[in-house]
Amino acid sequence: MARTVQIRIYTVRAGLLDEWVDQWQRLVVPLRRDLGFGIHGSWKDAARSQHIWVISHDGPESFEEANAAYWASDRRKTLGLDPGDYLVDEEAREVEQTL
């Protein structure tokens, strides 16, 4: 199975960008990595209140299957982090590396 890479752009509620990024780094990143995802960078765009990050998966299952398993995992359910409390919009783009 080919590696899937996504650029994710999250628009965060006004005034919550730093708190969101802190929670995401402490809670989401370790779990994603434990479940076989690669995290390839994270950026803040304070002017737009956006968090941009790059995620990949190249395991035996598809990205969609691995992502569904992440959301269904008991560890995810007990994180205490509801993206709906922070995010007002999200966009995911599948991309292919060219360089």
For residue range 39-63, list pLDDT tens digits in order: 999 999 999 999 999 999 987 888 8
The span from the CA of 71 to the CA of 23, in Å, is 16
Q: What's the angle, vertex CA 74, arms to CA 69 and CA 80, rounded to 5?
A: 110
Query: Which pTM was predicted?
Result: 0.91
**pLDDT (0 to 100) of residue 2:** 61
**pLDDT (0 to 100) of residue 74:** 95
Protein fold of 4-93: Alpha-Beta Plaits (3.30.70)
Residue the block writes with tokens 């990949």: 56
List the chain domain ranges. 4-93
Give the DSSP letter of residue 25.
Answer: I
**pLDDT (0 to 100) of residue 96:** 85
